[in-house]
Each structure stands twice: as C-alpha cells, then as structure tokens.
C-alpha cells in the first residue's frame, strides 16, 4: 500500500506440547520450572502446568512467501500456523529425551509449525517510514522483546523520542543493495540457521551475496592480499596479508582464545606503521551527503549542536541531537560555499543519518539533500610522512601553515581533481581525499607510487579502529548513541549553546550541570590482557557500567577501553576491574588530552616497559 520494502521473511518454527507428565501430576501453575535452552541442539523448553513445551530451530530454514499467508487454508486456527512437519522434529525430539528422560514415553498433544519473521541481520525493524509519513513499523519482534518494543514504540508515537537507543533496529538501517528479494531471502535463511550459534563480534556476515559495493581501489586491495568484511554493503579490508613482512620489524603480542578469532597480528604492524610513517586507507564506504540551497546553513544550524561554519573551506565536527539531547548523529560538515555543504558520516549508519536529516527538511524546498556516496570515492592518507607524500603530487602548499587542521581545499593531484579535507580519525597528520569514482583507481596508484620512498602501506579497518581508540576518538553506535549526551561523552567542546536554537538545546541546558556519569578512557594494567567490548566494569561487587569499545593499543603496549562510569569513579588514577570470561582485569582511568600526540614506542621500548602508558 505504501511501496515500502521491509526486509524480512516469514519462517516456520516448530513448537510442541506433551501430554501430562506423571512427575508433574496435579500441577496447575503455568510456569514453575526455569526455562531451559539446549544451545548445541537448537532447542528450548518451557513448562505448561503438568506438561512440557519443546521448541526447535534444529531443522533447515522453512521460509514462506508472504503471499501464501493470505491464501492459507491449512489451519482453521490462524494464518500464521502451518502444518506440523514430523520429519523435521525427529532429531530434536530425540535430543530432548536425552536431556529430559521423563519425556521418553510422552506423546505430543499440541504441535505446530508457527511463523516467525527473520530479517537480514536478525534484529527487529522499528520506526517510521522515511518514505511515507505516518506509516510505522514494529516487525520481527520476538516474544522476549515484546514489552520493550511496546514501550519504545509508544514513546516514539507520543513524544517522538525513545528512551532507549534503537539504531540496531532502525527501519532505515538497510542499504539499498541489501533490499533485493534474493538477498533478503538468503540472509533470512542464514539468520534462522545461526539463531542459536555463538556469534563472534568480528565475524564477517555469512551471505553468498558479496561484492555488491566495491570501491574503485578494489583490484589493488585484492593484489595486496586484503581480507574483507562488509559494512553498509561495502567490501572493506580488515587487514592486508602483504603487510605480514612487517612482523620482522615490529613485535606484536599474540592473542589466545576468543579475542584471537577473526584477528591477525598484522593489525598491529599496520597500526604502528601508520603512527611511524604513512598509510593509505580505503574510506569509500563513508556516507557522503550534499546539502544545497539558500537556507542550507540555517537548516544545518538547527540540526547541529556545534556552530557550523559557512566559510568556504572550513570543516565543522558536530553532533546532531534528538529532543532529549541524545546523540542522533556524529559527523563532519565541510563548507564548499555558503550554499553547498558536504556532510560525511559512517557507511554502516549513513542511511539512518540521511533519514534523520531528510525528516527535518524545510517544507518550502529551500534546502535539498542528495546522497552522493557512490559518486565519490575516498582515501585516507595518514601518518607522520603524509605531508611529504602529498607534496610530491600537487603544486599546493600542504604545510600546517597553509593547510591547517579542519580545513578543506579543492586541489589537483597531478591531473586528478580532488577535495582534500584535513581531518584524521587515527590521530596522525593527513587528509581524507575525495575524487569522482571514475578517477579513483588512478588516484590510488598515484598516491601509492608517491609513497614508495616513505615505505607507504595499505591499512585495514582493524588498525583504523585501534588507532582511533588509542587516540581517544569515538564511534557512533558504539561509544555514543541516543542514550548519551555530548557532555557525558566528553564532546561538550562541540556544543555551542549560545549560537541560537537547535534540536536538543533545551534538554542540554537542563542536563549540562546534572550529569551522573562520564565516558572514561581506561588502560588495562596487565599488558597481555585483551578485551573486546561489552564487558562489565566493576568496583568490588558493584557494577559501574560496561565497556563500549576496546582494542589493544599497540603504541602503548596495553589494551585500551572506553566506559561510562559514575562521576566519583571518573577521576584519573582511579582503579576499577573489567570482567572478561570470568577473569577480572585491573584497569586504570587515564586523563585524556586530545590535543597532544601519541608517541610511538620503538620495538625495544615496548619490550622494556609494556606496562607504561603514554598520556595522550
């Protein structure tokens, strides 16, 4: 009715209830026993008074075309019930008897193949359509999520703001290339198969549909032995096997157990080589939005917490907030001229940020916004030697004096037109360099050749992440989201309350002096310990918060973590503990000075003082 693609597929799921068990004779209470899950056999169990219910995912995906639901004639109960398929229940029933012997002589008095919805990524789909105002969706919601989803949808409908961060459930999160029927069906089938698996946070998505979005640099990345994962549908290199030779130069701590999965020690050498010399990073997955119009600056000022510069060549780092002061977006805005701006944000979250910005466009068409992500590629040129590399292929002065931080220039690199933006997410000198996609491969080759005298390397997303963590830079959706405001996240420097009205300003005025927690920078005292994020942070038996993101800081020789802690625990030098697989690691709150540089330790220095921490 509204021509909206909702990427989910109905899938049959088996559930059966036994006849009464003699061990439960006379029991009338609905549920007394705890719920049981047999993870290895993909089954679960629920007491029904004197009977037992058995649910099973232990069968091949049985997907159902939505059109078949409306014409369903098999069940007189409801269209969402399909005929029970005995063959698919034989194996899970036998494993159920092994776990609960009392089931051995029971029959099944109730048995169905019920329909559930599975999405591309296994999460629910919640929110208002960005195409049809007033069309709201709350789909693929499991029973266990029902109460929470009901609460947040009611909040959205009545106040427009949710009390919980919903970015992983956002209806607008799906890239266009992931909304084709074949992709959705294949992804939903995989999600059903994996529903009881133990999922590693760094595992690549299991889908046969890959290489749907590749940068123009892709052939060169392949030649360098890139190991790819995906983000926003893009193929993104995690690390490069060609950099393994640098393991002779740098000593990288080995990992064991969970943190060693989907990891390579090559991440460490890429990290250190970027700090020490220079590296190229494929940033083409960045979402690039072009905002134009004679009211563009007023529009952006209303959306942004920071003062947006309308001077050509100036770059503004800012958050966009919701009415509660929660961080909706975290991005940079480059002014090309007073009526033309580039908004750049992450590729995985770009669709959501684009939808938020579109929802606030003026009704008089005085502002236009276009997603130009596929029209321009981007490469990050970063490291101490980045200015030397760039100066070899341009006539422009790229010194700090003539090309300072947070500025942008339209330049030519030999004959290639480019927008060079002096920003760095890894904390070293350098640029994000944008050029039309058709010139991208030539740009990569030009920079690569210019960097040979400086031992240039290609860096992957793993090094990209550990570099930004070490330097104190935050990731939206991980370290900051709708449940955080700029002050507790340490981003108060990018809020200008005196610039005039903007979304979230009234809430910030109330919350500025009443915060109860602060995002803290932590280093683990044990130089061999590695955590991965989401672990609880404790003081004795008191849980203080959880780790938002973490990785090994190869320049420091210890693991780095971020966590929101109560104010009394946010004082530098405070000791806390982080629990990881039952072990507790001591960690120290560190004072983070964003303006100073990270000192890269030599191989001998790292060996001599692995517990030392360099203050940023």
Could you report the per-residue pLDDT of 515-531, keeping only the tens digit for each? 999 999 999 999 999 99
Question: Which residues on neighbouring strands pair with residue 55, listed in sequence order?
Answer: 15, 44
CA dihedral 305, 503, 322, 152 (to 10 degrees): 170
Q: Evaluate if residue 50 carries a pLDDT over 60.
A: yes
Average pLDDT over residues 199-204: 90
Predicted pLDDT at 603: 39
C-alpha span between 52 and 330 (Å, rounded): 49
* Pairwise pLDDT comparison (207 vs 595), residue with the higher score: 207
Q: Which helix (H) or strand (E) holds 118?
A: strand 108-119
Q: Evaluate if residue 596 carries a pLDDT over 80.
A: no
Q: Which helix (H) or strand (E) holds 14?
A: strand 8-18
Our answer to whether residue 330 is catalytic in this structure is yes
Q: How many distinct structural domains can be found in the chain?
A: 1
Q: Residue 599 gets which letter from DSSP? A: P
The model's confidence at residue 511, banded by pLDDT at 50, 70 and 90, is: confident
Average pLDDT over residues 264-280: 98
Close Cβ partners of 451 (under 8 Å, ≥ 6 residues apart): 278, 280, 385, 389
110 within domain boundaries: yes
Strand pairing category for 575-580 and 583-590: antiparallel
3-class DSSP state for residue 469? helix
Please give the structure tokens belonging to residue 525.
């005292």
What's 101's domain CATH number? Answer: 3.30.9.10
C-alpha span between 518 and 570 (Å, rounded): 6
Given a contact cutoff of 8 angstroms between Cβ atoms, the answer to whether 185 and 161 are in contact is no
Q: Evaluate if residue 242 carries a pLDDT over 90.
A: yes
- pLDDT digits over 387-425, tens only? 999 999 999 999 999 999 999 999 999 999 999 999 999
Q: What is the mean pLDDT of the chain?
A: 93
Q: Evaluate if residue 344 carries a pLDDT over 60.
A: yes
> How many helices (H) and strands (E) are present in the chain, helices listed first?
13, 27
**What percentage of the chain's residues is helix, strand, coil (to nearest 5)?**
25, 30, 45
* Pairwise pLDDT comparison (65 vs 593), residue with the higher score: 65
The model's confidence at residue 359, banded by pLDDT at 50, 70 and 90, is: very high
Q: What is the CA radius of gyration of the chain?
A: 27
115 within domain boundaries: yes
**CA diameter of the chain:** 89
C-alpha span between 472 and 426 (Å, rounded): 9
Q: Give the CA distances from residue 508 to residues 237, 485, 602, in Å, rounded to whole numbers and listed in that order.
A: 39, 8, 44
Residue span of the structural domain in which 97 resides: 8-119
Q: Which of 357, 332, 352, 370 is nearest to 473 (CA)?
A: 332
Q: Evaluate if residue 76 carries a pLDDT over 70.
A: no
Q: Which of 441, 452, 341, 444 is nearest to 389 (CA)?
A: 452
563 within domain boundaries: no
Q: Residue 572 gets which letter from DSSP? A: T
- To the question of pTM greater than 0.75 for the whole model, the response is yes
36 within domain boundaries: yes
Q: Which helix (H) or strand (E) holds 561?
A: strand 558-566
Select which of 170, 282, 330, 551 is catalytic. 330
Average pLDDT over residues 10-32: 96
- pLDDT digits over 292-334, tens only? 999 999 999 999 999 999 999 999 999 999 999 999 999 999 9
Select which of 44, 425, 434, 487 is catalytic. 44
3-class DSSP state for residue 176? helix
3-class DSSP state for residue 81? strand
Select which of 13, 167, 353, 484 is catalytic. 13
Give residue 65's region: left, alpha or beta (phi > 0; psi -120 to 50). Answer: beta
65 within domain boundaries: yes
111 within domain boundaries: yes
153 within domain boundaries: no
C-alpha span between 522 and 588 (Å, rounded): 5
3-class DSSP state for residue 612? coil
Please give the structure tokens belonging to residue 80.
């969402």
Close Cβ partners of 381 (under 8 Å, ≥ 6 residues apart): 278, 279, 280, 389, 390, 430, 431, 433, 447
Burial class (CB in 10 A: 0-12, 13-18, 19+), 283: buried
3-class DSSP state for residue 354? helix
Given a contact cutoff of 8 angstroms between Cβ atoms, the answer to whether 472 and 521 are in contact is yes
Percent of the chain with pLDDT over 70: 95
Give residue 551's region: left, alpha or beta (phi > 0; psi -120 to 50). Answer: beta
Average pLDDT over residues 580-587: 97
């Amino acid at each position: 009715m509204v021509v909206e693609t909702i990427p989910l597929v109905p899938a049959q799921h088996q559930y059966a209830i036994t006849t009464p068990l003699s061990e439960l004779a006379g029991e009338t209470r609905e549920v007394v026993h705890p719920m049981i899950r047999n993870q290895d056999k993909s089954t679960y169990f629920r007491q029904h008074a004197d009977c037992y219910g058995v649910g099973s995912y232990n069968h091949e995906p049985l997907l159902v075309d939505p059109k078949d639901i409306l014409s369903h004639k098999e069940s007189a109960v409801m269209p969402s019930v399909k005929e029970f398929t005995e063959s698919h229940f034989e194996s899970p029933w036998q494993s159920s008897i092994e776990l609960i012997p009392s089931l051995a002589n029971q029959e099944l008095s109730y048995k169905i193949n019920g329909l559930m919805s599975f999405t591309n990524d296994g999460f629910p789909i919640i929110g208002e359509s960005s195409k049809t105002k007033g069309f709201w969706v709350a789909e693929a919601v499991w029973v266990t999520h029902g109460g929470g989803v009901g609460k947040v949808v009611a909040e959205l409908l009545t106040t427009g703001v949710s009390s919980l961060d919903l970015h992983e459930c956002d209806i607008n999160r799906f890239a266009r290339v992931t909304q084709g029927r074949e992709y959705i069906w294949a992804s939903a089938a995989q999600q059903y198969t994996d529903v009881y698996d133990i999922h590693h946070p760094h595992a690549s998505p299991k889908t046969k549909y890959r290489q749907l979005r590749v940068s123009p640099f892709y052939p060169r990345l392949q030649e360098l032995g890139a190991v790819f994962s995906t983000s926003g549908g893009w193929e993104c290199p995690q690390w490069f096997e060609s950099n393994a030779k640098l393991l002779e130069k740098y000593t990288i701590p080995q990992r064991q157990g969970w943190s060693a999965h989907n990891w390579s020690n090559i991440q460490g050498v890429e990290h250190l080589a970027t700090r020490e010399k220079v590296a190229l990073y494929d940033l083409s997955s960045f979402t690039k939005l072009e905002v134009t119009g004679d009211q563009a600056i007023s529009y952006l000022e209303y959306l942004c917490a920071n003062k947006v510069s309308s001077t050509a060549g100036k770059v503004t780092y800012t958050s966009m907030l919701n009415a509660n002061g929660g961080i909706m977006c975290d991005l940079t805005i480059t002014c090309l001229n007073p009526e033309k701006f580039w908004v750049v944000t992450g590729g995985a979250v770009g669709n959501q940020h684009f939808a938020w910005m579109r929802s606030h466009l003026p009704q008089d068409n005085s502002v236009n916004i276009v997603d130009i992500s596929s029209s321009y590629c981007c490469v990050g040129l970063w490291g101490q030697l980045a200015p030397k590399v760039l100066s070899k292929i341009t006539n422009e002065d790229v010194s700090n004096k003539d090309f300072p931080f947070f500025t942008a220039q339209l330049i030519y690199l030999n004959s290639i037109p480019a927008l060079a933006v002096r920003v760095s997410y890894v904390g070293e000198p350098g640029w994000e360099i944008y050029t039309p996609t058709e010139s991208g491969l030539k740009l990569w080759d030009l920079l690569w050749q210019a960097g040979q005298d400086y031992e240039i390397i290609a860096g992957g997303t793993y090094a990209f992440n550990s570099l930004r963590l070490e330097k104190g830079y935050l990731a939206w959706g991980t370290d900051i989201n709708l449940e955080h405001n700029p002050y507790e996240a340490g981003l108060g420097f990018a809020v200008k309350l005196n610039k005039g009205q903007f979304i979230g300003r009234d809430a910030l005025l109330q919350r500025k002096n009443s915060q109860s927690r602060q995002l803290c920078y932590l280093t683990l005292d044990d130089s061999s310990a590695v955590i991965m994020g989401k672990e609880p942070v404790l003081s004795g038996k008191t849980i203080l918060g959880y780790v938002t993101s973490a990785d090994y800081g190869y320049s420091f020789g210890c693991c780095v973590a971020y966590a929101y802690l109560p104010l009394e625990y946010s004082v530098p030098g405070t000791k806390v503990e982080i629990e990881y697989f039952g072990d507790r690691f001591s960690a120290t709150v560190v004072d983070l000075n964003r303006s100073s540089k990270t000192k890269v330790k030599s191989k001998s220095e790292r060996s001599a003082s692995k517990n030392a921490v360099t203050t940023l």
